[in-house]
Structure 1
């Protein structure tokens, strides 16, 4: 008599075809120890023949785990968010873990609220992007509840948790030095959100470049753009209406840099002939803008992939005890058509 196979095959169906117990099927499909290679292969062949796909929810109930990885960030530029999510998703794509995206505003003043949200979400672990990665109260809450986390580009307590970072001070210095080497002296600076440690780090890099060049930063040309296009556009208009106007604009992300280019065109100015513009991040908008934007390549996608990979390895017990908790990624200055020497 033929075995009856349900419409959606289960491990019981695989067990019947392979001639083993359902428990053995479960262990073989999850690559658990104490299953011979011959039996493991037999089970996997039966699963393939039946076109079996594991039920994540059922696995979660059995293992008492959710297989959910959280990703939390605060309203940065849309292009940054896309790179961040794509990096994490590309690591999780072929595995059993799924990504839960948890945007959260005003993290600095609402650390406890964010912590409660993450702890209630039933996550196995969480990826903390700026500024959440630098909030001590939040980290304390996660540590007390033993919720594993990986931090993407933190600036403080770098020995805490799994850390994936980049030297933003050195990156800021590189792009500022580029403008100074071209001969610019009246350089306007559009800062990001002052509550983000990245904004402080990049500004420290700018200062280092100006100090090495023996040039003072004109504080009247330093304004806050909040990492957004709209605010960046408004403050860039104000800067470019000044007399004498700046010959270059240094923006702390690409969205604000592209906004400055749009503001220049609004005033009848040509980029880069009348004013040079440089950004930060090497996001998609920097490559599609015209002219293409000089920027710093911050490998956001690669860092998010790395953070997710290290977190999963820790959750699955695959991390080596001697493996460093911190991993640094390199930046790269990308000189494109938006920066030239100042007009004569």
Structure 2
């Protein structure tokens, strides 16, 4: 049939020797049709290459069977893991996913959300950009379909969310380094304006305080989240008269910059310096020594996201119409060779 006009429901009915209504009931599973007639309709549809038009079907049913997925930055390997899991789980549940990369650009995020609204997505999954845009909070609070935030919450917005407990994440790093005897611990945290970075720092600070250790404020590096920022911050830390014995980098880009700076200074991990990072990245177990990391439960986050969103869809209402569900999942420590007991 390629190259010619698309077959119509009338042609299927004519070939099968049945009414158009019988074809519609059979293909949409919307009424009682005998097995014999179903077989004739299905055979005719297959022979002609006919499939019901998705848009027309959605107008009748009110459902499009697709979900919108707005991702803050596909250059982030952790988000790629989330996307893979979310798409796989959505597909298993019978939903297609429209993926939009905002590239940390609020204007792109705004355009993508408008597109999903115009396409009548059944639900919206949003990993929000770090910076918002005028009207974002109101737009998300008044979604006509169920929506859910993933990884990052938006302060003051009552919408379902699934995130990592980032205070617990920082605390795990603190407890591990303290167990190894480290006291001069530095942190490269990214921007203090970002909630996740603040929470990870809070966890590190409170975890050390619970062990009687005070985090030296001079060893806290605050900038943006780029590899270049991580590199510059690490060089400053390594230039201290009393160099830290351990450094905690709070995201993967910062970790790469930190490792580059350590290599440039000719230092050895963990003999000269222990390093702990965040997330089980593709290279974490391949570098030598392997990277000790605090991991976020990406698969569990994806599973919880899809189950929560599909529950909202089946209820026929959005999170804004009910009390928002704020779900935090726990991180885990994976110890490898980049951290070791302090040398006395």
TM class, shorter-chain normalised?
Answer: 0.7 to 0.9
Once the 2 structures are TM-superposed, how far is the Cα of residue 7 of structure 1 from its aligned partner? 8.4
Please, which of 262, 265, 273 is the counterpart of residue 263 of structure 2?
Answer: 265
RMSD of equivalent CA atoms: 3.8
Decide whether aligned partners of structure 1 residues 136 and 304 sit closer, same or farther in structure 2, where only a CA change above 3 A counts: farther
Decide whether aligned partners of structure 1 residues 212 and 11 sit closer, same or farther in structure 2, where only a CA change above 3 A counts: farther
Structure 1 residues 189-338: aligned runs within 5 Å: 189-315=187-313, 325-338=325-338
Contact 2:280/2:293 (<8 A) preserved: yes
Please, which of 183, 186, 190 is the counterpart of residue 184 of structure 2?
Answer: 186
Decide whether aligned partners of structure 1 residues 96 and 28 sit closer, same or farther in structure 2, where only a CA change above 3 A counts: farther
Report the equivalent of 2:113.
Answer: 118
Q: How far apart, CA to CA, are the structure 1 residues paired with 2:236 and 2:326?
A: 41
Report the equivalent of 1:3.
Answer: none
Report the equivalent of 2:343.
Answer: 343
Decide whether aligned partners of structure 1 residues 272 and 23 sit closer, same or farther in structure 2, where only a CA change above 3 A counts: farther
Structure 1 residues 17-166: aligned runs within 5 Å: 20-32=18-30, 34-35=31-32, 38=35, 42=39, 46=43, 49-50=46-47, 55-56=53-54, 59=57, 68-75=66-73, 78-93=76-91, 95-105=94-104, 107=106, 114-115=109-110, 117-121=112-116, 122-123=118-119, 124=121, 125-131=123-129, 137-155=135-153, 160-166=158-164
Q: Structure 2 unaligned runs (5+)?
A: none
Q: How far apart, CA to CA, are the structure 2 residues paired with 1:171 and 1:44?
A: 57
Decide whether aligned partners of structure 1 residues 250 and 145 sit closer, same or farther in structure 2, where only a CA change above 3 A counts: closer
Q: How far apart, CA to CA, are the structure 1 residues paired with 2:250 and 2:44?
A: 52
CA deviations 1:154-189 (Å, max 9, x no partner) are 446699333222211112111221011110011110
Decide whether aligned partners of structure 1 residues 342 and 31 sit closer, same or farther in structure 2, where only a CA change above 3 A counts: farther
Contact 2:187/2:221 (<8 A) preserved: yes
Contact 2:67/2:95 (<8 A) preserved: no
If the length of structure 2 is used for normalisation, what is the TM-score?
Answer: 0.79
SS at 2:285 equivalent: helix
Q: Structure 1 unaligned runs (5+)?
A: 1-5
Once the 2 structures are TM-superposed, how far is the Cα of residue 271 of structure 1 from its aligned partner? 0.7
